[in-house]
Amino acid sequence: MDHHAAMQLLDKIRHNMESCIYGKKEEISWMLTAMLAGGHVLIEDVPGTGKTQMVKALALSIGGVFHRIQCNPDLLPTDITGVSIYHPKLEEFVFRPGPIMANLLLADEINRATTKTQSALLEAMEERRVSVDGETHILPHPFMLFATQNPIEFEGTYSLPEAQLDRFLMKIKLGYPDEASEKRLILEPGASRAAESLKAVATVDDVAQMQRLAQSIHLETTVADYLIALIRGTRKHGGILLGASPRAAVALSSAAKAYAFFNHRSFVLPDDVKAMAPLVLSHRLHLRSEARMQGITTLHVLQDVLRQLPVPVGMER
């Protein structure tokens, strides 16, 4: 598959999703960018904003295996990874795979799962494999985790540790639809469940090829310098207790390449880095308590750092 064919296919996936997810063009572009980068996504928003439908629409569009887990304190690690069960006839233990054996896994309200269960996802997110009873099982390729959490209700929840937050390529918010889209949901029969009837316009093998092409996008040295200056600037900012990690720099580079590819370009612009920075870095920065009390957010910090950075010009194409 060449770049032109891949971009045409990507447009088909985008149009397919937009046909049933109304008023979320930007959010769909973020999800597809994460897919191209092969990263995991944390979706933080109140219930009823269409989080599950968006992930399901993506899974159906690429013909991938989609599983959903409803997280709660009773959920065990083996409920996610699978378990080895003794087979009397074979006289041996047989692995029964859990829902994590999917191309797209949706973990609903991930912060309602205990820390022990959350940690079961950590190996899968980083290594694309799970270990059960000493045996290693490779996950399908591609594998992407989409996790949701409610930013309002915290009773009976377990905050995601920094190590796990750092494994999410992006953290996004869907927000409420615009008035016209919300009205359409009411007036069109079955509009709220339209994702259920989507047909595949691509395959998971196509996605794997697109991921390889997206990561071959050219990142010029001057843009890399700009990206690193942004990362290091977060560590020096007075309102930040813990700045962006080296893993965050790699994640931002990967996301910027994918975003350039999504926008039909063969090279990364500083604007790609700026567009992806809030999505990739906001959940990886930790504010000082004084800054939080003053109403400063990580987004404010990123905007502050970006304002002080000179934007490279005269790039070679």
| Residue 231 belongs to domain spanning | 217-308
Total domain count, the chain: 2
**In a shared domain, residues 92 and 149:** yes
Q: What is the pLDDT of residues 12-31, one digit of tens each?
A: 999 999 888 888 889 999 99
* Inside any domain, residue 316: no
Confidence band for 153, pLDDT divided at 50, 70 and 90: low
Q: What is the pLDDT of residues 283-301, one digit of tens each?
A: 988 888 888 888 888 888 8
* Inside any domain, residue 317: no
* Inside any domain, residue 209: no
Burial of residue 313 (number of CB atoms within 10 Å: 0-12, 13-18, 19+) = exposed
The percent of residues above 70 in pLDDT, for the chain, comes to: 94
Tokens of 118: 């959350």
pLDDT for res 155: 65
pLDDT for res 194: 65
Cα of 239 vs its chain's centroid, Å: 26
**In a shared domain, residues 146 and 11:** yes
* Inside any domain, residue 212: no
Pairing of strands 92-97, 40-44: unpaired
**In a shared domain, residues 172 and 285:** no
* Inside any domain, residue 314: no
* Inside any domain, residue 79: yes
The percent of residues above 90 in pLDDT, for the chain, comes to: 44
CATH number for position 246: 1.10.8.80
Contacts of the segment 220-223: beta carbons below 8 A, 24+ positions apart: 220/267, 220/268, 220/312, 220/315, 220/316, 222/312, 222/315, 223/256, 223/268, 223/269, 223/270, 223/273, 223/312, 223/315
Contacts of the segment 180-189: beta carbons below 8 A, 24+ positions apart: 180/23, 181/22, 181/23, 181/24, 182/23, 184/22, 185/22
CATH number for position 126: 3.40.50.300
